């Protein structure tokens, strides 16, 4: 059953979602950006341990609280880890006032019809049951749109809703994430097609559950307003998609009702070698900028 206190925070509180869900494929790059080269560790276990230490450092920083960060998206290994002697989901909610989400997808298929669909997730029900027991509120599953191909975009939206319904059966709130790549040669056209397909999917939903949707910041400001206003939507959040933080925040500020769910834009300036005070100051500056773009609109 959905936690009503968490739901109230995610649906109505000012703030943004922090995306701390880099998976195995993106972890070496994230560590390198953090100041840890691949020569500094050997094997996946050591790599994921360093990544966990980075995430714990972020989560335990004074700036990382529910005052401005209303939720955080976790990688599975982070969900299963500890922070300050508690499970990470419990620590986030009980000690920081931050609602925990889980990334559940296992990557995407090769491009076909201009999109990359989700890979099969045969163990999804098992993972969702475990996540619910650990206090996870919702989930996120990312697929990718490369081109403005109507058939492909219809397929990617349909798949997101099918997975979303499976997730909702476990009492979790799904974040659908069909990401339009920022380098798509026809990004605006793809986004208009996606909006229309998502509206069709929302209108066709059965049951009484609601979804969240995570989208690339659109080329046309307020393009996703009909989604934001739909009664089956908890909230619409924006991915930074590779835009530098200042650019992502500027673009987001033009989209009313859309809040951030940034990853790279949040952590790009953090370095392992920083003192705790310097680290905390840099993170606080990023949090303030993203909060401002999420709450103060042009």
Catalytic residue list: 177, 214
Tokens of 258: 């859309």
CA distance 271 to 172: 34
Task: Give me the DSSP letters along the chain.
Answer: ---HHHHHHHHHSS-EEEEE---TTTHHHHHHHHT--GGG--SHHHHHHHHHHHHHHHHTSTT-STTTEEEEEE-HHHHTSEETTEEHHHIIIIIH--EEEEE----BPPPBTTEEPBPP-TTHHHHHHHHHHTT--EEEEEEEE-S--HHHHHHHHHHHHHHHHHHHTTT-EEEEEEEEPTT-TTHHHHHHHHHHHHHHHHHT--SS--EEEEEEPPSSTTTTHHHHT-TTEEEEEEE-TT--HHHHHHHHTTSTTEEEEESHHHHTT--TTS-HHHHHHHHHHHHHHHHHHHH---
Among 218, 224, 251, 248, CA closest to 236: 224
Q: What angle do CA 282, 284, 285 make, to 5 degrees?
A: 65
Please classify residue 247 by burial: count the beta carbons closer than 10 Å to its beta carbon, then call 0-12 exposed, 13-18 middle and 19+ buried: middle
């Amino acid at each position: 059953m959905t936690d009503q206190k968490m739901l109230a925070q995610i649906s109505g509180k000012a703030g943004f979602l922090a995306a701390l869900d880099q998976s195995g494929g993106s972890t070496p790059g994230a560590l390198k950006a953090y100041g840890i080269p691949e020569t500094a560790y050997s094997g996946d276990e050591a790599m994921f341990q360093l990544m966990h230490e980075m995430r714990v450092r972020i989560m335990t920083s004074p700036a990382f609280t529910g005052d401005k960060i209303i939720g955080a998206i976790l990688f599975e290994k982070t969900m299963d880890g500890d922070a300050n002697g508690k499970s990470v989901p419990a620590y986030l909610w009980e000690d920081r006032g931050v609602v925990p989400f889980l990334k559940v997808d296992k990557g995407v298929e090769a491009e076909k019809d201009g999109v990359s669909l989700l890979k099969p997730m045969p163990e999804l029900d098992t993972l969702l049951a475990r996540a619910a027991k650990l206090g996870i509120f919702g989930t996120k599953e990312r697929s990718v749109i490369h081109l403005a191909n109507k058939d492909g975009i219809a397929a990617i939206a349909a798949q997101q809703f099918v997975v979303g319904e499976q997730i909702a059966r476990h009492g979790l709130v799904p974040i659908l994430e069909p990401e339009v790549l920022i380098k798509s040669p026809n990004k605006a056209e793809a986004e208009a097609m996606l909006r229309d397909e998502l509206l069709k999917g929302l209108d066709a939903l059965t049951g009484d559950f609601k979804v969240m949707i995570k989208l690339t910041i659109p080329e046309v400001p307020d393009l996703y307003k009909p989604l934001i206003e739909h009664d089956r939507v908890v909230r619409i959040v924006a991915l930074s998609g590779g835009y530098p933080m200042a650019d992502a925040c500027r673009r987001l500020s033009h989209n009313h009702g859309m809040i951030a769910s940034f990853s790279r834009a949040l952590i790009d300036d953090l370095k392992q070698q920083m003192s705790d005070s310097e680290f905390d100051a840099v993170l606080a500056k990023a949090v303030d900028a993203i909060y401002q773009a999420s709450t103060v609109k042009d």
